[in-house]
Amino acid sequence: MHASIERAGLAEKIIMAGYRWDTPDVYAACDMVVIASLHTEASPIVLREAFASGRPVIATKVGDIPEIIEHRQNGLLVEPGDIKALAAAILEFLSDPKLAAACAAKGLRYASEHFSFDRMMEAKLQVDASLIPARKTRLLPTSVSVEPVSSVETADLSSRQR
């Protein structure tokens, strides 16, 4: 990736930051977020973070991304590996700030509706509930019988040393 960026003469324009702890600051410094995955992505965290940061998103049509991003509504979608389409999408956001801002606003709204703590906990509880079998009214097997206790003896512990 780094070599391709160098060959294209883009080393001064593209930052490959690696893992960062200060992601809110990083997103705030971005004009847009590009998720150029070539293979399956379930539901990438970077997409959630980008939406929550209010940044416009361009992503490839892999995994669950097309179920989250509606093309030209809350982001732009391109085919994986289509470099020309990816470049065109980047240029589209740069040349149409109104579209970029509208997609960013809708992405932020999507994040607040789908990725809030309460919403995520609600979804987790629904999954948990679906995995727990319905509780039966009788917890003991029918073959177990318990005899009632007729009397209880108590011990005199007053002389016991402490």
Per-residue pLDDT tens digits for 118-159: 877 888 888 888 887 766 555 656 666 667 766 667 767 666
Indicate whether 4 belongs to any domain: no
Report pLDDT for 16: 81
Residues of the chain with pLDDT under 50: none
Report pLDDT for 94: 97
Range of the domain at 36: 23-131
Report pLDDT for 120: 78
Indicate whether 38 belongs to any domain: yes
| pTM, to two decimals | 0.67
Report pLDDT for 88: 97
Report pLDDT for 37: 93
Indicate whether 143 belongs to any domain: no
Indicate whether 138 belongs to any domain: no
Encode burial over 26-50: b for 16+ CB neighbours within 10 A, e otherwise: ebeeeebbbbebeeebeebebbbbb
Indicate whether 145 belongs to any domain: no
Report pLDDT for 138: 58
Residue 27 belongs to domain with CATH number: 3.40.50.2000
Indicate whether 146 belongs to any domain: no
Indicate whether 42 belongs to any domain: yes
Number of domains in the chain: 1
- Going by C-alpha positions, the residue among 44, 37, 112 that lies closest to residue 79 is 37
17-25 long-range Cβ contacts below 8 angstroms, 24+ apart:
23/49, 23/53, 24/53
Indicate whether 142 belongs to any domain: no
Report pLDDT for 10: 87
